[in-house]
Structure 1
Amino acid sequence: MIVAFLNQKGGVGKTTLALNLAGEWAVRGKRVTLIDADPQGSALDWSQQREHEGLPRLFGVIGLTRDTLHREAPELAMNVDHVVIDGPPRVAGLMRSALLAADLVLIPVQPSPLDGWASAEMLALLREARIYRPGLAARFVLNRCGARTVLARETAETLVDHDPPVLSSTIGQRIAFAAVAQSGRLVSELDHDTPAAREIAALVEEIERLGIGRTA
């Protein structure tokens, strides 16, 4: 499966989710490659920090900020179980290529009114990609949900019949995510029984229940 984390807006947590999703699959015995398609290179920085700390390599991280992702990612996917793409903010050509590469597009958003979540441009690009990839699946992921979850619950209810719909798994606003990012670690490496680790595990399990695979 090729999963792409995409959103035109920066700072919504794409890299954090991509790294921890890849890491959770890796600790479950899956072969995973993460593609850093963000020109800022945050996932590559994380990988280098992990190496500097002397931590074991769980999955490969490759920098690919080219609009040929739709050709290169499927080739990489032939040698692993999953490819995770950490997508770019507001780079239309690269975004289109990532959309065409993906089997599943995850759009991280913070709980807020719907109009503030995804730009019309992002959804237009998704519709455009589905012309060429009719089977392309997409979901919103509620990220950085505060302790008061009323807004998250209300927005999730709003999206029940929306396209794309929202995953039921939500990710909290937790210090653990920021702390591990700086040290080249994953939340599951701190403690498998923390709320952050349980949320990532639930996200992985929900994605797997979708039963999405590569289609032509």
Structure 2
Amino acid sequence: MIVALLNQKGGVGKTTLALHLAGAFAAHGRRSVVIDADPQGSALDWSQARAASSAPRLFGVVGLARETLHREVPEIARSVDHVVIDGPPRVTALARSALLAADLVLIPVQPSALDGWASAEMLRLLDDARIFRPELRARFVLNRCAARTIIARETAASLEQSEHRVLAARIGQRVAYPEAAAEGRLAFERDPDGPAAVEIAAFAAEVLEVGA
């Protein structure tokens, strides 16, 4: 399965979700690779930090910020169980190529009316891609949710008005994620029984169910 995390809006947590999704897959014995398709290269930076800390390798990270993703990623996918694409913000040609490569698109959205509106451009690109890939599936994922806030429910309700559903799994606003990233690690490695580990496990399980 090839999963692409995409949103034309930056700063919604695509890289964090991509790395943790690949890590959750790897923790269950699935061979995974992250494609860093963002010219900023944050996933590659994380991989370098991990290598410097001598942490064990969980999955590969490959830099591929090129408009030929749709031709190259399927070849990479032949040797692994899952490919997770960390997509670029605002780079439309790259995003289109990632859409054409993917089996499932995850659109991270923060609980905010502004983020909900900003997803409209991503949905237009998705509609264009489905002309060529009518089987392409997409889901919204609410990220950086504060506990028990009305705005998260309102954002989810607003997004549900599109044809693409919102994943039931929600990812919280937790310091565990940036703290782990600074060490080249994943939140569930630092605290295997913590709330971040629980929500990432639920997120990965739901992605596998949707992608099945």
* Structure-1-length-normalised TM-score: 0.94
- The Cα of 1:162 is off from its aligned counterpart by 2.3
- The Cα of 1:150 is off from its aligned counterpart by 1.8
The AA in structure 2 aligned to 1:177 is Y
Give the aligned partner of residue 16 of structure 1: 16
Residue by residue over 1:168-208, the C-alpha shift from the partner in whole angstroms, topping out at 9 and shown as x without a partner, is 11000000001011110001101221111111100011111
Give the % identical residues: 68
CA contact (8 A) 1:139 1:166 kept: yes
Q: Distance in 1 between matches of 2:150 and 2:195?
A: 18
Q: Distance in 1 between matches of 2:115 and 2:143?
A: 16
Give the aligned partner of residue 86 of structure 2: 86
Number of aligned residue pairs: give it.
212
Give the aligned partner of residue 42 of structure 1: 42
Q: Distance in 2 between matches of 1:97 and 1:54?
A: 34
- The Cα of 1:161 is off from its aligned counterpart by 4.5
Q: In the alignment, does 2:107 pair up with 1:107?
A: yes
- The Cα of 1:160 is off from its aligned counterpart by 3.4
CA RMSD of aligned residues (A): 1.3
- The Cα of 1:151 is off from its aligned counterpart by 1.5
Q: Distance in 2 between matches of 1:98 and 1:211?
A: 16
Residue by residue over 1:52-107, the C-alpha shift from the partner in whole angstroms, topping out at 9 and shown as x without a partner, is 00001110000001000001111111110000000001111101000000001001
CA contact (8 A) 2:116 2:158 kept: no
CA contact (8 A) 1:38 1:88 kept: yes
Stretch deviating more after TM superposition (3-12 or 107-116)? 107-116
Q: In the alignment, does 2:133 pair up with 1:120?
A: no
CA contact (8 A) 1:114 1:155 kept: no
The AA in structure 2 aligned to 1:74 is P
- The Cα of 1:157 is off from its aligned counterpart by 3.0
Gap runs ≥5 in structure 1: none
* Structure-2-length-normalised TM-score: 0.96
The AA in structure 2 aligned to 1:58 is L
Gap runs ≥5 in structure 2: none
- The Cα of 1:117 is off from its aligned counterpart by 4.2
CA gap of 1:110–1:153, structure 2 versus 1, over 3 A, is: same
The AA in structure 1 aligned to 2:192 is H
Give the aligned partner of residue 159 of structure 2: 159
Residue by residue over 1:16-48, the C-alpha shift from the partner in whole angstroms, topping out at 9 and shown as x without a partner, is 000000011001100001100000000000000
The AA in structure 2 aligned to 1:26 is A
Q: Distance in 1 between matches of 2:93 and 2:168?
A: 30
- The Cα of 1:124 is off from its aligned counterpart by 1.1
Give the aligned partner of residue 207 of structure 2: 207
CA contact (8 A) 2:109 2:115 kept: no
Residues 41-190 of structure 1 correspond to what in structure 2 (within 5 A)? 41-113=41-113, 116-190=116-190
The AA in structure 2 aligned to 1:11 is G
